[in-house]
Amino acid sequence: IEDVVIALRGQRGIRHSVAVVGPWDVMVAVEAADFESIARTVFRHIQATEGVLHTYTAPVLPLEMLGVYAGGPGMPAVPMHRPGMACYVHIKAAAEAGSVAGVVQALGAMDDVAGVAVVAGEHDLIAEIPLTWEEAAPVILDRIHTIPGVSATTTLVAVPEFGQEADEEAEPFSTWA
C-alpha cells in the first residue's frame, strides 16, 4: 500500500493520494477539466501502477447542479485538498427529492467538516472531517447520522503519513481486520 500511495503522488492529474483503513486501501483525488481526462488518468496512471488490483471511480458532480453554490456562506471545499489526518465519510442520502441538497447544506454548516463533494456511484456524498478517528467518531455518530436525509454512512480513515512514528504513550485502541 505504501508503494502505491508514493507512486501515485505527483503523477499528472492526481491531486492527492492517501492510505486509508476501510473498504479500500488507498483513496486518490483526481483533478481534470472534464470526465474524459479523469478517466484517462485512472486508466493510464492509476490502474497501470504496480500493486493496484482494482479501482472504483466516483465522479464529483458540481454543487451548482443542486442549486448549492460552493464558496458561499458555510460551503466547504471539495475533500482531499491537503494531506494529514482525516476521516472521509461516504454518505448515502434518502430517496426523497431534495435530500442530497439538504444534507450538503447541513454539512456545510458544521465546523468539523472541511470538505463536501456530491458524487455519482454507490454513495451520494463524501465529507472530509480533518480529525483522528477517535475525534471524528462522535461527529459522525452524533451529528452526521442525525442529519435529516442521511440514510447510511461508510467511513475511510486516513493513515498518518508513512515514516512517522506512533505515539507510544497513546491510549490503546483496538480494531478488527
109-125 confidence digits (pLDDT tens): 899 999 899 999 899 99
For the stretch 114-167, pLDDT in tens is: 989 999 989 999 999 999 999 999 999 999 999 999 999 999 999 877 544 444
pLDDT of residue 69 exceeding 70, the answer is no
Quickly count: other Cβ atoms within 10 Å of residue 100's Cβ: 21
Cα distance between residue 27 and residue 52, in whole Å = 12
Three-state SS at 55: coil
* Mean pLDDT of all residues in 162-177: 44
Report the amino acid identity of residue 165: E
Q: Are 107 and 77 in contact (CB under 8 A)?
A: no
Residue 84: per-residue pLDDT: 78
Three-state SS at 5: helix
pLDDT of residue 71 exceeding 60, the answer is no
For residue 107 the three cell numbers come to 454539512
